[in-house]
Structure 1
Amino acid sequence: MVEVGQSSESGFRLPYSRLVRNGALREEDSFQRQATNFGGSGSRNTSPLGRIGSRNTSPSRQKVIKTKPRGLDEETVATFNKAVQPDVQMEDNIWAMLPEDLLNEILARVPPFMIFRLRSVCRRWNSILQDNSFLKFHSQVPSHGPCLLTFWRNPQTPQCSVFSLPLKQWFRIPFTFLPLWAFWLVGSSGGLLCFSGVDGLTFKTLVCNPLTQSWRILPSMHYNQQRQLIMVVDRMDRSFKVIATSDIYGDKSLPTEVYDSKLNKWSLHQTMPAVNLCSSKMAFCDSRLYLETLSPLGLMMYRLDTGQWEHIPAKFPRSLLDGYLVAGTQKRLFLVGRIGLYSNLQSMKIWELDHTKILWVEISRMPPRYFRALLRLSAERFECFGQDNLICFTSWTQGKSLLYDVDKKAWSWIAGCAFQSYNSQVCFYEPRFDASVC
């Protein structure tokens, strides 16, 4: 929708209040007040621009359109001094002589899900996923943007769908290669997925790239026991690690095991001290793994570089009903939880850990209208997970997803993203062709 200023006998006014829902930008608002005072009652416009039928050629006369940032539903305002040029008809003979390096660089910027549609153009493009030159350019371009990956079995066949927030579209990914024992989705990192499960009496772990359909089963751990796992990918080193912490049932104290893809083996490290864990949710940021504990109260931190555990006495906020640890960028660690003993007084808050004072500092509270729409019942179950500085809330009962951008301090519904299966496992996912399981 394009709106422009209109000329009149008493000057001109920009109908800017129609462009922004909640107030106006400071700079534009100041400009509007100046224009209003200039053409108000009691003033005389002697400029030829103020005459009836004249045309306003002032540089301030701009076209204003609404745009939406990638993956978010909140509207922003963009102004342009020049009209948008129409698309130019492409000449086949010119594009046929395009250098191969330049062509690979262009294709590397195409959304990964669209590459599969382009593979039917010619034989060259059909084998582009095996082209090292294309993969090199693809590894250097920015990420496609945040995606939500859902995994479930229906009833035994594994199903996987990815919702692209930038494209606002679902994409189905075939998972026929996945063994039947791979039941639990451990998580995602750097374009790879990690699954675990029990095959007979053996606990197994698998890592795969859904886009390239490449996968591998990791060697057996030293202790054949179901463990809490988390995967970390190092894109610069083109490697990944899987960390196995305590026994999933908490019955045994087992040494921490770390799998290194470069060494293709598990190594034993310090056993986590005896603690009473709050939940199995973990967060990894800045080469450190964090878990919530009730006794002793606070966090348990595992340093990947030294292989040692450490207790952090960070007390949880009062009246916290259920909390989730969410890793942000660099050293930022968030705590997301519902507070309030009574249903009519409950709310959702987000805290950030102050590493210096070892204290949780509140940084945001979910607006009441979002909280009531997401969780209509006091005991309703929800999930929370994050990537970078984005935090996603999902409610299986309502089938809704809510996104919070920590940097922009913006809440928004994820339009078109509704989860139908109650047993779906969801995580953030970064689609990448260059993510290797080797």
Structure 2
Amino acid sequence: MASPSMAMDPRIWRNLPQNLLDRILAFLPPPSFFRARAVCKRLYSLIFSDTFLEMHLHLSPSLHWFLFFPSTNIPTPTTTTTTTTPTTLSTAFLLNTNDNTWHHLSFSSLIPPNFSPAASSGGLLCFISTTPGLKTLILCNPLSKLISQLPSSLRPRLFPSVGLTVGHSSFICVIAGDDLISPFAVKNLTAETFHADGLTGFYSPWTTASSLPRLCNLESGLMLFISGRFYCMNYSPFSVLAYDVASNDWFKIQAPMRRFLRCPSLVDLGGRVVLVAAVEKSKLNVPRSLRLWVLQPCGRAWAELDRMPAEVYRQFSEAEGGHGFECVGHGCLIVITIKDSNDILLFNSHRKVWWWAPPCPFLDVRQRRGLRGFAYEPRLATPSVGLLETPTSISFHAFSA
């Protein structure tokens, strides 16, 4: 801690040019920025300033954080029932991986009933309607509380897989599978793409359709977007589905050790497609473990990247207990969430370090509902939503911690 003699003279701060002060504030992480807004009216109003938001957009460092929703707020193909009781999304928990601190975000007055989180990218979360039929998607910035609604999809679906990639001036959204071919049956037949680009003026609202490969089963998993392609897991047997946006084509990639995998997940690890799964077979010559494979540049072959140390895997197996798990990647980090548990395991691929996240203080330790994780980069400004119609709701709230 600096001594009083080293403290900066308040008169220096008072005389700093406003543009220089704004530039300093643009580097603050969101929790610090929202606390600084309480200093005076001018700082409070910065979030309404287009000039400041543009500066923040270009200067603020990338933050590889994760957002978690209680799994009870997220239906699955087996829990998306025909009941008419509406489900309301109320809360989420933000993990700052730089210092392992938690923050609480409320969605109770923002997202309407019967919507659940489905994807994230570029500071935006994508929510999809959970009622069967034509699908409605909402893009939401959790910090500015600005939301925009996409037009309804062209095909009725039950609970399709969703992919999203967001840039400063463009976004692409894909929904795939779970085509409602009758009120009582679904098949994974087609995908639809929504593409908007402010630089080229290209705007394609669900007019780009494509056929999925035969005998595919997406199981409503998360999609990745890397180097012009969306990727998602395919089940029975395990493989990877890839969608090339430019050519509008889907194809399959065989998964490594596909007969011995359990709970496979695809993660984005520093711009690389990585498959994470438990490897289990009673007569396998190697110990049971959790392994990571990276997709090679050829786009067809895999190479083992890393595996969980034996002692960590023993702890993980005890916590997981065969209930299943999911993985999400962001930057050099991977988080593993366990079904029916609030425990979260993290892996830093650069430092080769595994550790358990501190318990979320906003969760009741007596209720182990499970958490669904999403990669999240907090951004005060997400201008690509301006490519849609006038936002349906705009309000501004501070972080609560």
Relative to the length of structure 2, the TM-score reads 0.78
Alignment check: 8 A CA contact 1:181 1:198 kept = no
Aligned to 1:290: 231
Q: What is the CA-CA distance between 1:229 and the residue it aligns to?
A: 0.9
Indicate conservation of the 8 Å contact 1:275/1:293, yes or no: no
Q: Cα distance, 1:85 vs. partner? A: 6.2
Q: What is the SS of the residue equivalent to 2:21? A: helix
* Secondary structure, aligned partner of 2:125: strand
Q: What is the Cα deviation at residue 296 of structure 1? A: 7.7
Are the equivalent residues in 2 in contact too, given 1:168–1:416 (CA < 8 A)? Answer: no
Q: Rate the CA distance shift 1:175–1:148 in 2: closer, same or farther, 3 A.
A: same
Task: Tell me how far apart the structure 1 counterparts of residues 132 and 237 of structure 2 sit (CA, whole Å).
Answer: 36
SS at match of 2:19: helix
Look at both structures and tell me which one has the larger radius of gyration over its CA atoms. Answer: 1
Rounded to whole Å, the distance in 1 between the matches of 2:237 and 2:94 is 39
Match of 2:252 in 1: 311
Deviation string, structure 1 residues 164-221 (Cα, Å, up to 9, x no partner): 1113222112213333334321121111000112358553211100000000111011
Paired position in structure 1 for 2:178: 247
Contact 2:91 2:106 in 1 (8 A): yes
1 CA distance for matches of 2:22 and 2:121? 25
2:42 matched to 1:124?
yes
Q: Secondary structure at the match of 1:93?
A: helix
| Cα drift, residue 357 of structure 1 | 8.0
- Separation of aligned partners in 2, 1:191 and 1:170: 17
Q: Is the 8 A contact 1:228 1:246 kept in 2?
A: yes
Q: Secondary structure at the match of 2:220?
A: strand
Classify 1:312/1:174 alpha carbon distance in 2 versus 1 (closer, same or farther; 3 Å).
closer
**Other structure's SS at 1:219 match:** coil
- Give the SS at the match of 2:232: strand
What is residue 212 of structure 2 aligned with on the other side? Answer: 272
Residue among 340, 346, 354 paired with 1:403? 346
For the pair 1:184 / 2:116, whether they are aligned, the reply is yes
- 2:290·2:313 contact (CA, 8 Å) conserved in 1? yes
Q: Distance in 1 between matches of 2:353 and 2:51?
A: 39
Contact 1:325-1:335 at 8 Å conserved across structures: yes
Letter aligned with residue 185 of structure 1: P
Shift of 1:351: 1.0
Which shows bigger deviation, 348-357 or 211-220? 348-357
1:359 to 298, 301, 310: 301
Change in Cα spacing, 1:201 to 1:432, as seen in structure 2 (3 Å) is: same
- The share of aligned pairs that are identical, in percent, is 28
Alignment-derived partner of residue 349 in structure 1? 291
Q: Which moved more, 1:94-103 or 1:174-183?
A: 174-183
Which amino acid is the alignment partner of residue 231 of structure 1? Answer: L
- CA separation of 1:188 and 1:129: change in aligned 2, threshold 3 A: same
What TM-score does the superposition give when structure 1 sets the normalisation length? 0.72
Give the C-alpha shift of residue 334 in structure 1: 0.9
Whether contact under 8 Å (1:190, 1:234) holds in the other structure is yes
Deviations 1:200-252 (A, max 9, x none): 855321110000000011101111323211111123xx222111112278823
Tell me how large the CA RMSD over aligned residues is.
Answer: 2.9
Is this contact kept in 2: 1:182–1:206, CA < 8 A? no
- What is the rounded CA distance, in whole Å, between the counterparts of 1:287 and 1:254 in structure 2? 22
Rate the CA distance shift 1:200–1:294 in 2: closer, same or farther, 3 A: closer
Unaligned 5+ runs, structure 1: 1-83
Partner residue of 2:274 out of 299, 318, 334: 334
Q: Which residue of 2 aligns with 1:380?
A: 323
Counterpart Cα distance in 1 of 2:381 and 2:374: 20
Alignment of 1:189-228 (within 5 A): 189-198=121-130, 202-226=134-158, 227-228=160-161
Q: What amino acid sits opposite 2:314 in the alignment? A: R
Cα distance change, pair 307–107 in 1 and its aligned pair in 2 (3 A)? same
Q: Give the 3-state SS of the residue equivalent to 2:379 in structure 1.
A: coil
Q: How many corresponding residue pairs?
A: 352
Aligned-partner SS, 1:135: helix
8 Å CA contact retained: 1:211, 1:433: yes
Match of 1:98 among 16, 25, 41: 16
Residue 120 and residue 147 in structure 1: after superposition, are their counterparts in 2 closer, same or farther (change >3 A)?
same
Q: Which moved more, 1:418-427 or 1:186-195?
A: 418-427
CA change 1:350–1:205 in 2 (3 A) is: same
Change (3 A) 1:358 1:241: closer
Q: 1:110 to 1:380 in 2, by over 3 A?
A: same
In 2, Cα distance between equivalents of 1:423 and 1:149:
13
**Alpha-carbon distance, 1:416 to partner:** 4.5
Q: Is the 8 A contact 2:335 2:345 kept in 1?
A: yes
Bigger RCO of structures 1 and 2 (CA < 8 A, at least 6 apart): 2
Contact 2:27–2:61 under 8 Å retained in 1: no
SS at match of 1:251: strand
